[in-house]
Amino acid sequence: MKRPRLLSVAEVAAELDASEAYVRRLLLRQRLYGTKLGFVWVIYPDDLAAFKLLRRPPGRPRKTVEGADKASLADIAGERNRAGTDRLLRQRRRMPVAPPRGRRRVRSRSKRG
C-alpha cells in the first residue's frame, strides 16, 4: 500500500494562496483537517482537496438581483436618483457653493516699522 505524501502548513498555504497563520487557524478550528506530529502540523492531500471544494471564495459576496425585470430595475434607479444616492446608497457629493458676492475685507500688506 502506497502512503500519500503529507503536506506541511507552508505547502498548504501556498496551495490556497493564503498565509501560514490562516492555515494554522483553520486547523485549530477544525475547518481543515490535519494531524499534529510533535509540534508540526501535516495535512493529507485528500483533506486539502475536500476543503477546497467546500471553501467559500474570499471577500464579501456580491449582491445579485435575480428575477428582477427591467421595469423594477428602472423604478429602483428612479428612487435612487430622487434620493440623491448612488448604487452603494451613498450620498452624492455636492458641488461647493461660491461665496456671496459683495464687499470683502482685504488685508493690506504694509510694512510697519
Model's pTM, two decimal places? 0.51
Cell numbers found for residue 39: 509540534
Those residues whose C-beta lies under 8 Å from the C-beta of residue 92, and which sit 6 or more positions away, are 84, 85, 86
Dihedral sign computed on CA atoms, order 43, 45, 50, 52: positive
pLDDT per residue rounded down to tens, the chain (113 residues) = 788 889 999 999 999 989 999 999 999 999 999 999 999 999 999 999 999 998 887 788 777 666 667 777 788 888 888 887 776 667 667 666 666 676 666 666 666 65
